[in-house]
Amino acid sequence: MTFIRQSPSTGAGSPDVWGIYEPDTGSIQYVVADPETRKAALIDTVLNFDPAHARTGTWTAGESLRLVEAEGLEVEWILDTHPHADHLMAAAWLKQRLGVPMAIGEKTRDIARIWAGHYNTPDAFDPDRDFDRLFADGDSFTIGRLPVRVMLSPGHTLGSITYVVGTDAAFVHDTLMYPDSGSSRADFPGGSARDLYASIQKILALPEPTRLFVGHDYKGGGRSEPAWEATAAEHKARNAHLGGGVSEADFVALREARDRTLKLPDRMLYALQVNLRGGRLPEPDSDGRSYFRIPANLF
């Protein structure tokens, strides 16, 4: 069942934000809008995927379109924070319907080179072809009249980025989890717990009232409902992995020990070959059907 919650604008320069929770992967996709102009962006949208049948679906991404229509919004951007390993991106499907640009971080090029090697498909991925904009650290753009600043936030992946929107919202993807769950893993190819710590410190240096919107929630602490929003001040005070000023050495030791216990996401080897194409399935074979390429015994 999809779960939707709004975080209203707090005043001038502050965006409206809606989170849409996808329960199969614990992912949150976002609609962020300028209350004045009603212009909006979609962030980290989800293409549903059943790994047992290799079957895709669009009902979660469709929720974002229904919300946009119900709220009278006009989408200007389809944004992703990184090539996700645990869910398939819906960016390409949404672009077909909305005709607006898709964007991600420029270091997706480096991630693409790593995974082209893992799949032994040297010419499969071309982020410059499949995305309309590749953002660098410090780049800026607008949603309506709201300024958006791009922060490079490596660690979970080497190319993850954060979108800081208006005066008090930041989409921090798979760096932090909700405070009771700590932080996200850093053991995927190109990831680094030490880089993750540094990225989180930059995020937590944002003004304390900044609303931080995370990429996933697994209902930590026995919560009955998902949660994905907390302020920078709340994370600094009570985040399970960083609250109270945990040192880099202690964080790295904790994160690496935790990561050694985690299995790969069940969608990962499917997801990367879709997400590094901007959410497009592999090119069809002569029978018109797309096929996934899964490397045996790689991990």
**Tens digit of pLDDT for each residue in 144-194?**
999 999 999 999 999 999 999 999 999 999 999 999 999 999 999 999 999
CA-wise closest residue to 160 among 229, 202, 108: 108
| 3-263: CATH, from 3.60.15.10, 3.40.50.170, 3.40.50.800, 1.10.357.10 | 3.60.15.10
Q: Which residue has the tokens 């070959």?
A: 273
CB-neighbour burial class of residue 260 (10 A; exposed 0-12, middle 13-18, buried 19+): exposed
Mean predicted confidence (pLDDT) in 117-128: 95
Question: Which two tokens mark 228?
Answer: 């994905």
Spans of all domains in the chain: 3-263
Distances (CA, A) of 259 to 30, 245, 248, 253, 272: 27, 21, 16, 10, 19
Share of the chain above pLDDT 90, in %: 97
Q: What is the pLDDT of residue 222?
A: 83
Q: What is the pLDDT of residue 1?
A: 61
**DSSP state, residue 134:** E
**DSSP state, residue 216:** B
pLDDT in tens, 207-250: 999 999 999 999 987 889 999 999 999 999 999 999 999 999 99
Question: Which two tokens mark 179?
Answer: 């405070």
Q: Which residues contact 159 (CB under 8 A, 6 or more apart)?
A: 82, 83, 104, 105, 106, 107, 108, 109, 110, 111, 152, 190
pLDDT in tens, 31-60: 999 999 999 999 999 999 999 999 999 999
89 pLDDT exceeds 70?
A: yes
Residue 173 near residue 214 (C-beta atoms within 8 A) = yes
296 pLDDT exceeds 90?
A: yes
CA gap 285, 140 in Å, rounded: 40
Q: What is the pLDDT of residue 145?
A: 98
272 pLDDT exceeds 70?
A: yes
Beta-bridge mates of residue 216: 27
